[in-house]
Amino acid sequence: MRVMLTAKLHRVRLTRVDRDYEGSIGIDRELLEEAGILEYEMVHVWNVTNGERLQTYAIAAPEGSGEICLNGAAAHKGNPDDLVIIATFAPMEEAQARIHRPKVIHVDNHNRVVQPVPNNPMRMDTADVGAQPF
């Protein structure tokens, strides 16, 4: 059994933090759907700007809002405009792991999905958006 990267929102921008909310990270529903991340699924959050790393769960922010919001205690780990990577992982049998390709989503400065990169080896098919090696 191997634990493999299943989805990654690459270098999304924190739009706000809310220390008074009970927890989690709010992610634009459109980004959740593109990446295949479920609401309440555990996510890893890696802050590219300050080096902080944490685990929490995803909740849906309004679709099309571009919102990425750290809530509760996690809100102390970032500030608006910080760049973060949000990732999920899943266990897989060896054979499946060897052929698996994660869904990697790239965004612009407003957290809008950008078009796929042509001839990218991490793309699973033409429906994948923005997959690039990390």
Distance CA 69, CA 94 (A): 35
CA angle 118, 97, 38 (to 5 degrees): 75
- Domain 12-90 - what CATH class? mainly beta
Q: What number is the average pLDDT over the span 49-60?
A: 96
Res 116: pLDDT: 61
CA 61 to chain centre: 13
The domain ranges of the chain are: 12-90
29-43 core/surface letters (b: 16 or more CB in 10 A; e: else): bbbbebbebeeeeeb
Say if residue 124's pLDDT is above 50.
Answer: no
* Active-site annotation, residues: 24, 57
The answer to whether the pTM exceeds 0.75 is yes
| Strand ranges in the chain using DSSP code E only, listed in sequence order | 2-13, 16-18, 25-28, 42-47, 53-61, 68-71, 83-92, 103-106
134 — pLDDT class (breaks 50, 70, 90): very low
The tokens describing 82, both together, are 């910080």
- At 63-120, the pLDDT tens digits run 999 999 999 999 999 999 999 999 999 999 999 999 999 999 999 999 999 976 555 5
Alpha helices in 1-134 (DSSP H): 29-35, 94-99
In this structure, the number of other CB atoms found within 10 A of the CB of residue 11 comes to 16
